[in-house]
Structure 1
Amino acid sequence: MQATPSPQVIEEAIRWMVILQSGQASPEDYEACERWQEAHPQHQLAWDRLGQLDQQVRQIPPPLARATLHDERRISQRMNNMLQRRQVLKLAVLVGGSAGLLGLGYQKLPWRPMLADYTTAVGESRHVALMDATDIHLNTASALDVDYDASVRLFRFYQGEILLTTGHQQAFAQRNFIVETSHGQIRALGTRFLVRDHENGILVSVFDGAVEVAAAGVKRIVQAGYSLVFSRQQLGSLLEASRDSLAWINGVIVARNMKLSLLLQELERYRHGTIRCAAEVAELRISGVFPVHDIDKALDAVADTLGLEIKRSWFYRTLLDRVR
């Protein structure tokens, strides 16, 4: 009979599970987790037992709708807190029965996006209509809080990608419409715009109206048809905003003479694991429309178009390479 994993190993396993399910895990994170599992039999045992509850952790029901945003936010937070604690308790009991681990792990792990008002899992998209007629589309692995008061409609963007179309209900029309990010603020000026995590900060693309971006001690107006990347250090240059970047709302990625490496990077966002290509084919160009809710089908289409071979291995690792 295998020994029960130690509390320290349990904590490490839960930490890895949260990282890999966060929607922001890098290929290096997956490789590091794999090395961690191989380092000791207890690591593999803890990981296998966590996997038994993986599906239960993902099936947390969404908060019930309420008459006002204030009530909805308060009740949804309460429900999410209760349900998350219940699921983590299951993990601790299943893996090692260590109640003491629960309090320690909960404080250290990045729970905040998981407890947001509106979230999506990896590969999931969601549409939300608010009471002021604002429309929100959330792409894969996204998290957003919404908070209205007498003077402001505040949206706290934690991760992922969202498309916002501002509502104009008379009772809310005079309230500032602010999206708060980790790198700065975006103030909507009656508009439709996209906010997305970017390797250099936050990408904002405007499709109707305009927004005001405030970051790095500077403010800049971004008009319809333009985008920019901003961070705590700087505001980038204005670039043309492509409507192809909205194709995910219809469940597809549109590629126009796109580098293979970039297309695979986009597809990787929609499922767990890594999707890579050999260095010698990374610069190949491809055009097409690829489904985001059936990544294997998309990869088959890519491979057929470019005459490549798909090599799939355990732990959701996929490599595209020339046929040998």
Structure 2
Amino acid sequence: MTPLPAPEPRLDPHILEQAMLWMVRLQSGVSSEAEQLACQRWRQESAAHELAWQRLNGISQGLRESTRGLSATGARSLLEARSLPSRRAVLKSLAAGGVLIAGGYGVQQRSVLPGLFSDYATATGERRNWSLTSGLALQLDTRSALDSDLVDGVRLLTLNRGRVLLQVEQGASVSLRTADARVRPAMLSRLVVSQQSTGTLVQMLKGAAQVEHGQGAGITLQAGWQQLYSSSRAEPLEPLAAGAGAWTQGLVVAQRMPLAELLAELDRYRPGVLRCDPQIAGLQVSGSFSLDQPDASLELISQVLPVRVQRVLGYWASVVPA
């Protein structure tokens, strides 16, 4: 039997951004010998740094050639940008202008490097809180990315991937866009918006929101309800799932949840690859499980269900029948 190829490790978006900045500096003609040595030291600091450097170099010769073609002025604008949002804004403009090219096709900001090209992003296992304007706070879940702009006093958010909790207080005006819908929360609202493979899930914890999708009329979603939207339709309204906001506290609450669905949640928080054997995917499980300690949650699952966990080098894990 031919063994499966080892999966490629996921990269921390912050380290990936550092690697790209080093590449821009070294390949664009504005680096000194001291900076070249500093880059070498950075690569030697950790295996993750070297992996990010090699992964970027391995994207294609086209990416390396594009950084060599970057003007000194453009490179300095990128390297001298002090804040993370402004630096990513420069990277966005470079990508839009065709400077960053991989394998003969443009780098897709929202799919190839969404963390790198978004104003706010989280890595695997990370949750972060931000207060964007007076009366508006958000929390990004693991592996999530979001853009933010302020236009005529309205905070315009774009959820590029993942999940976000919005807390809208008195005086805040916000509109959130996803690939499938536009969500306009009322003041004094609290809601979770998730970008999923099947569409956009909006869960109202408090207050109300106007949701527009496709060419249909807007829908008012009230507290205690949730709805899944695709670009063409809205699924039937459902009562708010138990523990809809539990992830903000590092928990997933399962009530007769299919095992495959629970493992998919844990997989988002766990470095590496987590797979579920199709034979046991439909087993139902109830309880509270830690997202911050996903391997401990796997052990708990193996104690309450007739399953066991197979691991390969601590990276690849498969849940199979006991």
Residue of structure 2 in register with 1:209 after alignment: 207
| Paired residues of 1:22 and 1:141 also in contact (CA < 8 A) | no
- Matching residue's letter, 1:123: G
Aligned positions of 1:185-196 closer than 5 A: 185-190=182-187, 191-196=189-194
- Matching residue's letter, 1:303: S
| Post-superposition offset of 1:209 | 1.1
Q: Secondary structure at the match of 1:262?
A: helix
Distance 1:284 1:189, change over 3 A: same
Residue of structure 2 in register with 1:239 after alignment: 238
Residues matched between the structures, number: 246
Select 1:139's aligned residue among 122, 134, 141: 141
TM-score, reference length from structure 1: 0.67
- Matching residue's letter, 1:300: E
Distance 1:211 1:303, change over 3 A: same
When structure 1 is superposed on structure 2, of 220-229 and 141-150 the one drifting more is: 141-150
Is 1:270 the counterpart of 2:269 in the alignment?
A: yes
| Paired residues of 2:91 and 2:117 also in contact (CA < 8 A) | no
Q: Secondary structure at the match of 2:133?
A: coil
| Paired residues of 1:165 and 1:193 also in contact (CA < 8 A) | yes
Q: Secondary structure at the match of 1:211?
A: strand
Aligned positions of 1:171-190 closer than 5 A: 173=172, 176-190=173-187
Residue of structure 2 in register with 1:153 after alignment: 155
Aligned positions of 1:249-268 closer than 5 A: 249-268=248-267
- State the identity as a percent: 27
The 1-side partners of 2:114 and 2:321 are apart by 42
Q: Secondary structure at the match of 2:183?
A: strand
| Post-superposition offset of 1:131 | 2.8
The alignment yields a C-alpha RMSD, in angstroms, of: 3.2
| Paired residues of 2:85 and 2:119 also in contact (CA < 8 A) | yes
Is 1:79 the counterpart of 2:79 in the alignment?
A: no
| Post-superposition offset of 1:51 | 5.5
Distance 1:103 1:282, change over 3 A: closer
Q: Deviations over 1:226-285 (max 9, x none)?
A: 111112111221111124121111111111222211111111111233322323222222
The 2-side partners of 1:22 and 1:270 are apart by 13
Is 1:165 the counterpart of 2:173 in the alignment?
A: no
Q: Deviations over 1:125-173 (max 9, x none)?
A: 011123312110111111111211324221111110001011324xxx4
| Paired residues of 1:188 and 1:210 also in contact (CA < 8 A) | yes
Distance 1:180 1:22, change over 3 A: farther
The 2-side partners of 1:255 and 1:228 are apart by 19
Q: Which runs of 5+ in 2 are unaligned?
A: 1-6, 14-45, 55-80, 93-98
The 1-side partners of 2:89 and 2:128 are apart by 21
| Higher helix residue share | 1
Select 2:195's aligned residue among 194, 197, 204: 197
TM-score, reference length from structure 2: 0.68
Aligned positions of 1:93-132 closer than 5 A: 103-105=100-102, 107-109=106-108, 110-132=112-134
- Matching residue's letter, 1:208: K
Residue of structure 1 in register with 2:289 after alignment: 290
| Paired residues of 1:202 and 1:231 also in contact (CA < 8 A) | yes
Q: Secondary structure at the match of 1:288?
A: strand
Distance 1:17 1:299, change over 3 A: closer
| Paired residues of 2:136 and 2:166 also in contact (CA < 8 A) | yes
| Paired residues of 1:146 and 1:156 also in contact (CA < 8 A) | yes
Q: Secondary structure at the match of 2:269?
A: coil
Q: Secondary structure at the match of 1:121?
A: coil
| Paired residues of 2:149 and 2:155 also in contact (CA < 8 A) | yes
The 1-side partners of 2:263 and 2:311 are apart by 14
| Post-superposition offset of 1:322 | 2.6
Q: Which runs of 5+ in 1 are unaligned?
A: 1-15, 24-48, 58-72, 85-101
Q: Deviations over 1:49-78 (max 9, x none)?
A: 986524789xxxxxxxxxxxxxxx994333
